[in-house]
Amino acid sequence: MLSLDFYNPTRIILGKGRIAELDRHIAADARVLVLYGGGSVERNGTLDEVRQAMGERHVQYFSGIEPNPAYETLMQAVELIRREQLDYLLAVGGGSVIDGTKFVAAAVNFAGDPWQILLNGGENVTEALPLASVLTLPATGSEMNNGAVVTRLADKAKLPMHSDLVFPQFSVLDPTKTFSLPARQVGNGVVDSFVHVIEQYLTVVGNNPLQDRFAEGLLQTLVEIGEQAVSETDNEELRANLMWVACLALNGLIGAGVPQDWSTHLLGHELTALYGLDHAQTLAVVLPAMLQVRRDAKRDKLLQYAARVWQLTSGSEEQRIDEAIRRTRAFFEAVGVPTRLADYGLDAACIEPVLQQLEAHGMTTLGEHGDITPEVCRQVLELAL
Ligand code: NZQ
Ligand code: ZN
């Protein structure tokens, strides 16, 4: 095991009807900005519950944070906060709203051009407004982590940031608030969570028995409940479990002390920024091809994954690896997320611009060995057509 730091200050409040508890966790004299997206939380009653829970507090609202939140939109929230002297942020929605809120929290008092926050991956953040969230889409883990991803439309750049100053103070996870999700978004959530675990697990075999078992437990649980969680739109138990898995998949726990490989995500971000695929759609396309291209570098861990997650213990090594990759792809398809670039109307012409963007963003040495170059990414995308 590598030496590790594990820090996570976020309180998770999971259960039906618990939005009312917001009142307990936000100071009575806070001047609150509630941030949300395109209106799903108005339509499914979440915002009404939030409004009620906030009681007599000073509360203002900012709507219109889009999927893959845009820097340009978020800067309007920054202006509003500065103008109205608001001092507490409550994100109500999915990962995009929570990510956007984290960036806003860091940008409000940032000295200089806030885009520099993204260009520096968040390392230059020295203060942030306190924030919390009400989650309506189990997927990103943003409700319990210190990361955010923001897109600047002007240059089609989708960049991540991390800062311990943007951990939510608490997040409310009411599984019944996910009932209004379209199947596509639930499927996206299952795939995103799955790939978060994979990127912290499927690297090299090391002496990490507990981390491996945590990761395999999360993957097996997703395989066990994924399809049903998509098809049963009002199953509170299933949705509660999905919320908890998605949260643990990227709250820092399983990644502590182990090598990580975020190449699928970083390549996927470029596909979203250039061609507008949903975040999880990019992962479903890239991961099976990435595993195929990296099968030698990942051989031992792929065999462990095959045996422990998919119970593949007979046949040659090559057969077990092929079958593990095939089942991974089939699982993504089964939860409704297509796994080929062609399924999204893309052909070989899409590849070159992606490689150029990877170069432009310095994403040229990805993976647990730092040897996933744009050339390797080209092979991956060709295999994903
Ligand atoms: O905008 P509204 O109207 O709210 O609709 C949203 C949006 O259209 C809708 N939705 C959310 N909750 C709903 C609902 N519709 C009906 N009922 C509900 N209960 O779902 C659509 C997608 O929402 P979005 O927040 O974009 O999805 P997701 O949670 O998958 O977030 C994706 C973003 O998170 C980033 C991604 O890159 C992407 O920008 N990520 C953030 C991470 C992090 N902070 O750690 C890690 C991830 O790997 C990921 O990169
Ligand atoms: Zn993700």
pLDDT of residue 5: 93
Residue 2 lies in a domain: no
Same domain as 49, residue 148: yes
Beta-bridge partner residues of 132: 90
One domain for residues 24 and 160: yes
Residue 115 lies in a domain: yes
Structure tokens that stand for 104 in this block: 């806003």
- Write out the residues surrounding ion ligand 2, Cβ under 5 A: 192
375 CB-near residues (< 8 Å, 6+ apart)? none
C-beta of 39 in contact with ligand 1 (< 6 A) = yes
The closest residue, in CA terms, to atom 28 on ligand 1 is 95
Q: Which ligand lies nearest to the CA atom of residue 179 in the structure?
A: 1
Looking at the structure, tell me whether residues 154 and 201 fall in a common domain: no
Task: Report if residue 153 sits inside a domain.
Answer: yes
Please give the average pLDDT of every successive group of 10 residues along the chain, which has 385 residues. Answer: 94 98 98 98 98 97 98 98 98 98 98 97 98 98 98 94 98 98 98 98 96 98 98 98 98 97 97 97 98 98 98 98 98 98 98 97 96 97 98
| Residue carrying structure tokens 């994979």 | 198
Asked whether residue 209 falls in the same domain as residue 169, the answer is no
Q: Is 40 in the pocket of ligand 1 (CB under 6 A)?
A: yes
Tell me which residue of 161, 126, 122 sits closest to 142, measured CA to CA.
161
> What pTM did the predictor assign?
0.98
Residue nearest to atom 36 of ligand 1 (CA): 279
Angle, to 10 degrees, between the axis of helix 279-293 and the axis of helix 374-383? 100
Q: Where in the sequence is the domain holding 362, given as residue range(s)?
A: 183-383
Determine the distance separating the centroid of ligand 2 and the alpha carbon of 160, expressed in angstroms: 11
Nearest CA to ligand 1 atom 42: 140
Nearest protein CA to atom 46 of ligand 1, as residue:
140
> 319 in a domain, yes or no?
yes
Q: What is the pLDDT of residue 369?
A: 96
CATH code of 297's domain: 1.20.1090.10
The number of folded domains in the chain is: 2
Centre of ligand 1 from the C-alpha of residue 343, in Å: 21
Last residue of a domain, one of 177, 200, 224: 177
Asked whether 250 lines ligand 1 (CB < 6 A), one says yes
Do the Cβ atoms of 245 and 144 come closer than 8 Å?
Answer: no
Q: Is residue 1 part of a domain?
A: no
61 C-alpha to ligand 1 centroid (Å): 19
Which residues have CB under 8 Å from 262's CB, separation 6+?
A: 199, 366
The reply to whether ligand 1 has any atom less than 6 angstroms from the CB of 35 is no
Domain boundary among 177, 192, 211: 177
Pocket test for ligand 1, best of 8, 279, 363 (most atoms within 8 A of CB): 279
- 256 and 340 belong to one structural domain: yes
Position 2 scores a pLDDT of: 87
Let me know whether 235 and 249 are in one domain. Answer: yes
Phi-psi region of 135 (alpha: psi -120 to 50; beta: other; left: phi over 0): beta
Cβ(181) to ligand 1 under 6 A?
yes
Residue 226 pLDDT: 98
Return the ligand number nearest the Cα of 141.
1
Q: How far is the CA of 351 from the centre of ligand 2 (A)?
A: 21
Q: Is the dihedral of CA 314, 315, 320, 326 positive or negative?
A: negative
- Identify the residue whose C-alpha is closest to ligand 1 atom 34: 95
Q: Is residue 6 part of a domain?
A: no
Ligand nearest to the CA of 158: 1
**Does some domain include residue 152?**
yes
| Straight-line distance from the first to the last Cα atom of the chain, in angstroms, rounded to the nearest whole number | 37
Return the CATH number at 65: 3.40.50.1970
Asked if residue 3 belongs to a domain, the reply is no
189 & 170 share domain? no
- Find out whether the beta carbon of 99 lies less than 6 Å from any atom of ligand 1: yes
Single-letter amino acid code for the residue at 189: G
Between the CA of residue 200 and those of 49, 173, 218, what are the distances in Å? Answer: 36, 24, 12
Q: Which of 131, 161, 177 is the last residue of a domain?
A: 177
Please indicate whether residue 95, judged by its CB atom, sits closer than 6 Å to ligand 1. Answer: yes
